[in-house]
Amino acid sequence: AIENFAMTVKTTAQMLQTFGTDLAETELPNDVQCTEELLSSHTDHHSKLKDELKLAVKQGATLLTCIREPVTRSANSKLSPDELENVATVGRLLAQLDETEKAFDQFWTKHHLKLEQCLQLRHFEHDFREIKLTLDNLMETQAGFADIGDSVTRIENLLKEQKHLEEKGQEPLEKAQSLALHGEQLIQNNHYAVDSIRPKCVELRRICDDFTNETKKKYDILRKSLELHKQLDKASQWCEAGIYLLASQAVDKCQSQEGAETALVEIEKFLVTAKEHQLSNPKEFYNQFDMILTPEIKANAQRIVQKLEDVQEMFDKRQVSLKKLAAKQTRPVQPVAPHPESSPKRASPKITRPAAQENTSYHFQVRRRGPAAQNGNHALVYQRIADSQVEKCISKSQGHIINELIETERVYVEELQSIIEGYASEMDNPNLVHLIPSALQNKKEILFGNLPEIYDFHNRIFLKEIENCIENPELLARCFLKRKEDLQIYEKYCQNKPRSEALWRQCGDSIFFQECQRKLDHKLSLDAYLLKPVQRITKYQLLLKEMLKCSKNSEGTAELEEALATMLDIIKSVNDSMHQIAITGYE
């Protein structure tokens, strides 16, 4: 029995030693699942060996009890020398088992702790990879928010998108902070993989800080952009309100002293609101908005500044005219035909027409000035025209004027073609239809009016006819007289213009128009080109007047005067169609 027990002790010790060697040589897995499986396997094996140890100890204890049984039954009994030796042998074997078990338990405690820490590390690494991927995607999405907006509506939408992204990132950020805290706790608990855990904790906190700081920066930029565009919009709206006020002051009512004084009071009240709508001086403006001043925003701001200057100039001139009327009444006023805008230092040329002779008149002019004007902003100038003042004949020859007419006509035709092909036709392009806003669907005729008809007339007929006049300038007047009825197509275009402008104000910021403008490489937006026909119809009477100045009392003068009268009648008809707001004098 003792030999069997000795063999059991030896076998058990060998199993423990073999298991310990296996544990020491085992490589730690690199993923959660394998680590869990290894921990479970080693724990099961450990439990079985512990059971074997318990059985061996129990066997030794039983054997020892059996040897000592005679002594336990009778106090007078004594163990023989052999029995005493057997007791000593079994005791040594049990002591050996006890030492083996203690050594095994100590080794297992360290090994089990390492496996558990390995499992903690693999969980930490797995969570780190998932959270970092989410945070990287958030940062990438945020980096894609480079747009600072080009209108109040667009910026407000961008702010909403930024808010949505911030809310979307809240949960991943909290998880990242929690995981970083967990990593710090692992380090404090003397985890063996400190060199792997600490950099990941630092990386998590860095990404969280980057996202938070970038979000704040985006908010700051968008809010600055919103503030800027609101300022620009307020300034632009003030200009539009000023233009509307000037346009709404009826010419005939301003001829009386009472009417002039009333108009002056209206203007003075309106100008009181000017300061709150003015932009900052250039230095303050750039200091305040330097971080968002893109070339496009700078150009827009310059257009608004130009527009403010134009409107202020309009009011200044209107006030001068009204003060003269309020101080001293002129002779009865009759409406006369529109005429080209004259410079401040020159009197307007006299137009020989029976209804206008020896009369002083006032009328509205719409002129085009600078970048702001080319963007479709009207500057209404109220001027006094004295027919008795006659400007000296300018030095242009008839040939020079004809050349100018032909060159500008060619450019005009090309511009019309680019609008039709680059915008109108693109509205039917299936590749771009998804970019067209719903408010613009099926409204091409409203936006463009009868522009194709105007283009067809000028391209097929009118351009060719005036090109034939380059050698015979005297034929120019006949072209206009011959095409009097054809030129009436402009009345239809101008009648539709308010509807077109209203639709443009609603949809002008759409991506569709931006894409078309980009393809055409146009510096100006579509609304500036849609104003070209209105500009062009008024340009003809200016050129005819120049021709007339160089042709006084010569052959063809009568026909030129008749052609000029015809064009002025057409413009008057167009003026009436645009609610009595004259459109002459474009430059």
Q: Which of 10-14, 68-72, 191-195 has the weakest average pLDDT?
A: 68-72
Q: Average pLDDT in the 368-397 region?
A: 34
Q: Which 3 state secondary structure label does DSSP give 333?
A: coil
Determine the Cα–Cα distance for residues 281 and 289; give it in Å rounded to an integer.
12
Quote the CA–CA distance of 52 and 49 in Å, as a whole number: 5
Cβ contacts of 347 within 8 Å, gap of 6 or more: 386, 389, 390, 391
Structure pTM? Answer: 0.45
- Token output for 111: 């090994």
Confidence of residue 77 (pLDDT cuts 50, 70, 90): low
User: Longest C-alpha distance within the chain, in Å?
Assistant: 169
pLDDT at 205 over 90: yes
Return all residues near 177 (Cβ < 8 A) that are at least 6 apart: 204, 205, 208
Give percent of the chain with pLDDT exceeding 90: 24
Query: Does the pLDDT at position 553 exceed 70?
Result: no
The predicted model gives 479-503 an average pLDDT of: 91
Are 510 and 437 contacting, i.e. CB atoms less than 8 angstroms apart?
yes
Per-residue pLDDT at 287 exceeds 70 = no
CA-CA distance, 25 to 56, in Å (whole number)?
A: 27
List pLDDT tens digits, range 211-240: 999 999 888 888 888 888 888 888 888 888
Residues 6+ apart with CB under 8 A from 294: 148
- pLDDT tens profile 397-416: 678 888 889 989 999 999 99
Six-digit token string for 205: 């906190």
Q: Give residue 283's pLDDT band: very low, low, confident or very high (50, 70, 90).
A: low
Cβ neighbour number for residue 69 with a 10 Å cutoff: 11
Helices 295-327 + 257-272 axis angle, to 10: 150
Q: How many Cα neighbours within 13 Å face the side chain of 74?
A: 5
Q: What is the pLDDT of residue 200?
A: 93
Instruction: Tell me which range, 370-384, 441-455, 553-567, is most confidently predicted by mean pLDDT.
Output: 441-455
Report which residue type is found at 45: H
80 vs 9 pLDDT, higher one: 9
Tell me, what amino acid is at 106? Q
- Checking if the pLDDT of 59 tops 90, the result is no
Q: What is the pLDDT of residue 425?
A: 93
C-alpha span between 365 and 235 (Å, rounded): 22
Closest CA to 231 of 172, 279, 264, 291: 279
Burial of 548 (0-12, 13-18, 19+ CB in 10 A): buried
Two tokens, residue 420:
């039709």
pLDDT for res 453:
95
Q: What is the mean pLDDT of residues 421-440?
A: 90
Express as a percent the part of the chain with pLDDT over 70. Answer: 80
